[in-house]
Each structure stands twice: as structure tokens, then as C-alpha cells.
Structure 1
Amino acid sequence: MPPSSKNVAHYGFAWVVLAVATLAGLAWWWNLGRPVSLPDAPSSRIACVSYAPFRKPGETPFDLHYRITPERIDEDLHALSQRFDCVRTYSQSNGLDAVPAIAARYHMQVLMGIWLGGVAKENEREIEQGIATANANPKTIRGIIVGNEVLLRGELSPRRLAEFIHRVRVATPATIPVTYADVWQYWERYPQMASSVDFVTIHILPYWENEPVAAVDAVKHLEAVYTHMQQLFPGKQLMIGETGWPSAGKLRRSAEPSLVDEALYLREFLRYASTVHMPYNVIETFDQPWKRVMEGTVGGYWGIFDSQARPKFPMLGPVTEDPQWWLGWLAGVAGTLVFAAIGGWRRHWHGAAGWLALLLAGFAAGTSAAWQVRQMLFACVGWPEWLLASVNLVAALVVASALARRIAAHLADHHDHSEPAPWWRFGSLFALVLYDLLLAFNGRYLDFPMGLFALPCVAYGVFGLLTHERSMPSLEQRFLACVGPLLAIVPVVQDVGMNKVAWLWLAMNLAIALPVLSAWRFHAVRLQPQQA
């Protein structure tokens, strides 16, 4: 029996989806390898940069017993002195009290940090060590930063913080100014803190704003905030204590972490800073893997250098997001070969249409899997995360390849003769909705694992276009198909519709859910006369 006009339309749309998925994989990886022209920085030298040396696996400032050796600090500062005039530290622990003395060897200045928190004993140790370090290195220390974002974290009151600042000021040389550092909104909230410091140190991080700012507009935002804070504290010297842009992580509205955007922001910021002669400090020297535990992927990628101490981008000329972009295309070719082998094994169909479907599905799946592997390289910390991510990716590829075999059979002979593997679909739906829940209620630091879930979602979406299920989907599948898209709307709303990745995530939820809902409706309508 010839296919109905409705089925022909569905088959045509299935071909369109396969073609679009293939072209999307081609375009996405090509875009990563495209050199992007950016404005040059006025100089490769930077006035000051945050220095936290915890860039190797297992290193973290939370382990107070771990000490960075003086030899390691010397190696770092020797290299940094070629590009930076000053470094900012955040604490006296972990051997960082040695930084000022070592920095003097390379004629560098130090903005020395004293870390304050909610533990009184640790605060006392930091204060005492900070005072001793300042008194021993008065010519090297440009300023003392007593506390970093402690008001933001709510760990000290303004009154108690002011007492600590006063204590440090009277116990250290008068030639060393003392300050406190926090995000600019908290200086707005507690303007009385300005009377306790010699200069006001503000953090302006456009990516982390309550209303995130895209990289292309970020320096204009910084300029507006800086002007506003000058008006708020007239006659008080103002310093930008932290500013920068991440090179990887979650998109927030239109603020996208990327290598190109990090280079764009830093270059434009340095051009602006050179015109107004402001004191500033850039965050930060190295990418730091330990921050990914606290802030998700994005926390580990604020460095000007990567965790191997290699420069991430030049200060002049075009910038390429990923020089190894061609590996994505290579993965697509590998996907076509694997899917062709799986789909052609013991096949019961003939013709070029089936082979073409396998090639398109295989290339799209290969580029999607490579996308997910790239994200894993940025996001995974430790072998448990690598194991979990790898198992999930293999499972998604198994589902996608099995469905590609069935899709090829349908497109080759237009016969509707298979069911959608309900247990596989239930597992895919369950995993998707579980992640939907995390994104909806605790998604500030979570990435969208697009490459992973695109595999089963697109595959089930195409398969659903080609088949009419003979039986009612299970209650569990119907429930998950209803809940998933509703939860996926939450990230779209949270980012006020500006996050393109959130829209794609919603589309993937709909792709796997709509065939279930369609089959539910079809069987519900068919059963009504029988029940009557």
C-alpha cells in the first residue's frame, strides 16, 4: 500500500532533520576553528594580575596543610615578571606569605591579601602572619587587602571587618595603604566601609552580574560602573581589584564563556584602562581546576594562562577558539563508518536511501559525541566524573546507533514495522528529566550537556516521525514526556529568553517527548469508541 500524504510529509521532515543535524555538526566545529579578528591590546604588559598557584591536580587552598614551595613561587614569578608589574595574592596560607620576598627579586610589586572568613582562629592566624609579612617587606607591598568578598559571603559584619582593617593599619608601616575588596554592589550596600580604608577596591565581573553582560558590551558596562563608583565615593582613590572573562563554561543570557570572548574583553579593557590611567588588577594568572568544584566548569577558566602555564591567546592579531577543530569533523567521519557498519549488518532493506540515512545520522552523531568529549575535557574533575560521563556517552551512542539502524530501514522501504525500544526511551527520558530538575532548581553552575543528550533526543524525534506506535506508551514515559518540557522552560525564563543554548535544550526535550505525547493522544482517541 502506498504511503499516505501525511506519512510522506513526515518522511520528508525526517530527511530535513537529518540534514540539518549533519550541517549543524559541520558548522559548529568549523566555527570553532575560524580565526576571529579582534582589536589589538595596547601592550602585552599588564599592570597587575591575581596570583593563585593552585593549578595542578589535587592542589587547593582549602587544604591548609598544603604548601606551595618557594621554588615553585620563584619559577612562577620569574616567568610572570616578563608580562606583569604586580601580582595580587589572597591569603597568607599555603606558603603564599613568601610571595613578597620572592617578587622583590624580579622587581615586582605585590597587592598582599589577608584572607578573612567565618572561623575566628583562622582569621587570627591570617592577621598575625599578614602583619609580619608586611613589616618584613615594606618596599615590595603596594597595598594590603584585608578580606576578599567576606561581606558578599556573609561571614563577617561590616563592624567586625572594620576592626580587622584598623588593626592591620596600625600594626604595619604607614607607607603601605590598606583596603578591602568586594564586588561593587556590596560597596553600594555598605558605603560606610569607605571610611575604614585608604582606597576602595571594587570587583567588576560582567559575566557574573545579576544581569549578565555580553563580552562585546562588557567594557562599556565596566566603564559605567567605574564612573558610578567614582561619584559614590568622591575624593577617594578607586581601584578595580578584579575584572576578567572566563574562557569555558555555561552561557548566562548572552554572556558566553569562550577563548575568543576572553581575549576580546581583556584587550578592550586594557585599551580603556590605558586611556583613564586607573589602577587595576586582572583575574587571573592561571586556570585553576579546584574552582570547578565550587563554581562549575566556568570557575576553572579565568586564567590568562592555562593550568600548564601556557598563554591561552595572543594580545595581537586574530584568535582561534580551538585550533584542533578538525577533530570534530574526523569524529563525524568515524561516526559514519560505525553507523554504516551497524546499520548494514543483517539488514532487510535495499537502496541508497537507507545508506544515506546512516551516513547522515552517523556524521551528526560523531560530531555530537565529539562536542560532548570536548565539554568533558573542560568540566570533569577526577576519575569518578570521567567514568560517569564516559558511561553516559557510550549509552547515548548505543541508543543513537540502534535507532539509526531502524531509521534507515524506514526511510529505505517506508514500512512501519518496529517499536521504539521502550526501555531505552524510558532510560533516556529519565536521565533527561533528572538533569532538567537540576538545571531548573540548582542550575547556576551547571553546563548544558548538549552533545550527550542530542544523541537520544534527536534520534527518538526522527524515529517518532516515521512510526506509529502499536501500543500505548507506559504511564512512566507519558509522565516524563509531560514533565521534561515544562522543566526545560525554566532555564529559558531564568535567562529571559536570551540564552540560545537554553532554547536548544528545550527543543531537545520536545524532540523526545512529542512522539510519546502523539502516541498517547492517538491511542486515547482510538480507545474511546471501544470503551463506550
Structure 2
Amino acid sequence: MFDYGKAVCYSGYREGQSPIRHVYPTYEEISEDLLILDKYFDYIRLYDGSQHAQTVLKVIKDHNLKLKVMLGVEPGGEISNPNCPWGGLHTEEEIEFNKVNNYKKLDHIAALANEFKDQVLAVSVGNECTSDWHPGLMDPLTVAKHVKYVKSLISHPVTFCEGAYYWMTKGKPIAEEVDFISIHSYPLWQKVNIDKALQMNIKDFEDNLRTYPNKDIIFTEFGWATMSNEQMDSTQTNEENQKEYLNQVEKWAEENKITMFIFEAFDEPWKGSTNPIEPEKHWGILNVNRSPKKWFSSKLKK
């Protein structure tokens, strides 16, 4: 397990860019981003092994930045999921393809971890893909096998990132294999207001700690959106509340030496629906034009 550090999830897609369309940020754009983040953070988290991730690792190495990277894999679904209205259904042929291709993705991410050994902090074999709403649904037993496989290929710690609730309900076979548990906790999605938000995060942590008392636990996602449509209480989603919430959580994390990855570094306009106030587009601590929002602005001034 690694030492406590300040951490943030990073995805550098700007206006007109999208991982879906394979339009990636340039080396220069990623350099600009990471030079900003390196001023305050120790760790960043990535979600796949795409060109974006490879450029991030190269920039960190070339610029000799202190940032270390949690690499990730986005596996293709191995279970058809009728509970997911956006791409959860898979044919038998697609499932068989994904089963083989997922191991290719694991091989690729392990190769990156070994190539950039000094820049990599840890590797996650998936993101929320045991959740019953996920389009790329995976059996927890399969995820556990993936963890074990990657651990055989690299010397870095290996984890799996999932919501706090699903770790407790589905995560036991995975917990037996991971080096540490990585939970996600979002008060806004649970309709919890700013005055009780930190308490929800603490409860999620303590509930998982009771379930897995012999495991280190970190947060690989938590955050506060600054704009939303009807999916959330729009009176809660603003920069003032983001600043208050992140200050509260950061204080608790520092006191307890629990690494927590803020979701996320920059707003991402490609995400979610075409609605410009879709909350998925507005979790950043910086705007898409790279200007800092209130919380991060206050940190950069110190």
C-alpha cells in the first residue's frame, strides 16, 4: 500500500474531444493540465489504457513531475444487463469477444505499468462494473480472477473501484484478492445535502471497514458537481457548496490519513446527454477552459 496523498481523477478531454470518438487531448494540452495539477496533488487516477493514458505517463516522465498514476481498465461486459438502458444488452458473440479482449486489456495495462514503473502508483482492473446498472456488467468472481492475473504480471498494488454499497453487497470475492479496497461515495447522487454530506462519506468508509477489517480502504471517487438538471437538487450544485464540501472532506482525510481521489480535475463537455447542465459535465474543480473553480482557486493562492 502507498502513503497518504492528495489525489484527483484526471480525464483531459476538452471541447470537441471524446474517448468515444477517439479524439484525444494533445501532448501539449496534457502537459498544460498536469503542470497545473502537479502544484497541489500527489496522485492522479486514469480510467483506461488508451492513447490518453499513454500520453499522460510520457508527460509525467518527460517533465519529471511528482505525480504518480493509478492506471485503470474499462472491461467489456461479460453479462448482458437488461437493467441498463444505455448499451447493457450484449449478444453471445459480443460476450465471448469481450472475455478474450478483456485479458488483452489487462496485458496492455500491465505492460504500461511495467514500462512506466516509477510513474505508476497502482492499477485498477475495473470501474463500477459489478453495479447492477452498468453497461459493462461483470461477475465479481471474474473480477477477482482479473485482479489475481494482473498481480502476477506487475509489482504494483492492484485494486478494483466500485461504489461503497456494491463493495458490501457483491465485493467479498474481490476483496480477497485486491491489495486494497477502493470505494466511491457521492452524497449528491443519494440526495444528501451539504450539511450531511461528509457524514455520509464517513459512514460509507466505516461500513466497509467493518465489512473488511483487514483491508486498507481508500476513496477513488467522491466529489461535488457545480451544475445540474433535474437529476439532482440544483440548489445544492454550485461552486460555493463544492468549496465547503471539499474543505470538510479534505480536513477529515488529512486527519485520518485516508487517500481520497476527488472526482474530478476538469469539467468534461463530452459526458452525459446533450443537455448543457447535465451534472456529468460539471464535476470538475476546474472549468473546461482550465480556469479554477472556487475551491481549487483558494488552494492555488496558498
* TM-score relative to the length of structure 1: 0.48
The yes-or-no answer on 1:198 pairing with 2:179 is: yes
Mapped partners of 1:230, 1:304: distance in 2: 28
Pair 68,129 (structure 1): closer, same or farther in 2 beyond 3 Å? farther
The yes-or-no answer on 1:165 pairing with 2:157 is: no
- SS of the equivalent of 1:239 reads strand
- SS of the equivalent of 2:125 reads strand
Alignment of 1:406-445 (within 5 A): none
Q: Is contact 1:89–1:111 with CA below 8 Å preserved after alignment?
A: yes
Q: Which runs of 5+ in 1 are unaligned?
A: 1-45, 318-532
Amino acid at match of 1:166: K
Equivalent in the alignment of 1:416: none
The yes-or-no answer on 1:77 pairing with 2:54 is: no
Q: Of the candidates 180, 184, 189, which is equivalent to residue 169 of structure 2?
A: 189
- SS of the equivalent of 2:262 reads coil
- SS of the equivalent of 1:48 reads strand
Q: Which runs of 5+ in 2 are unaligned?
A: 78-93
Amino acid at match of 1:107: K
The yes-or-no answer on 1:216 pairing with 2:195 is: yes
Structure whose residues are more often helix by fraction: 1
Q: Deviations over 1:501-526 (max 9, x none)?
A: xxxxxxxxxxxxxxxxxxxxxxxxxx
Equivalent in the alignment of 2:23: 66
Mapped partners of 1:51, 1:135: distance in 2: 21
Mapped partners of 2:186, 2:235: distance in 1: 11
Report the alpha carbon displacement of residue 208 of structure 1 after superposing the two structures with TM: 1.2
Report the alpha carbon displacement of residue 306 of structure 1 after superposing the two structures with TM: 0.3
Q: Is contact 2:228–2:234 with CA below 8 Å preserved after alignment?
A: no
Mapped partners of 1:67, 1:303: distance in 2: 18
Greater relative contact order (Cα < 8 A, sep 6+): 2
Equivalent in the alignment of 1:284: 264
Structure whose residues are more often strand by fraction: 2
Alignment of 1:456-471 (within 5 A): none
Equivalent in the alignment of 1:91: 48
The yes-or-no answer on 1:156 pairing with 2:138 is: yes
Matched residue pairs, number? 266
Mapped partners of 1:230, 1:144: distance in 2: 21
Mapped partners of 2:45, 2:203: distance in 1: 24
Q: Deviations over 1:19-46 (max 9, x none)?
A: xxxxxxxxxxxxxxxxxxxxxxxxxxx7
Mapped partners of 2:148, 2:54: distance in 1: 21
RMSD: 2.1
Alignment of 1:328-407 (within 5 A): none
Equivalent in the alignment of 2:83: none
The yes-or-no answer on 1:114 pairing with 2:73 is: yes
- SS of the equivalent of 2:176 reads helix
Q: Is contact 2:18–2:24 with CA below 8 Å preserved after alignment?
A: no
Report the alpha carbon displacement of residue 70 of structure 1 after superposing the two structures with TM: 2.6
Report the alpha carbon displacement of residue 192 of structure 1 after superposing the two structures with TM: 2.3
Please list every run of at least 4 consecutive aligned residues from structure 1 whose deviation after the TM superposition is greater than 6 angstroms.
Answer: none
Equivalent in the alignment of 1:242: 221
Mapped partners of 1:184, 1:170: distance in 2: 27
Amino acid at match of 2:179: D
Amino acid at match of 2:168: E
Amino acid at match of 1:178: V
Q: Is contact 2:286–2:296 with CA below 8 Å preserved after alignment?
A: no
Q: Is contact 2:163–2:184 with CA below 8 Å preserved after alignment?
A: yes
Q: Deviations over 1:153-186 (max 9, x none)?
A: 162111221222221110112xx10000010111
Pair 135,66 (structure 1): closer, same or farther in 2 beyond 3 Å? same
Q: Deviations over 1:371-412 (max 9, x none)?
A: xxxxxxxxxxxxxxxxxxxxxxxxxxxxxxxxxxxxxxxxxx
Report the alpha carbon displacement of residue 130 of structure 1 after superposing the two structures with TM: 0.4
- SS of the equivalent of 1:130 reads helix
Amino acid at match of 2:25: I
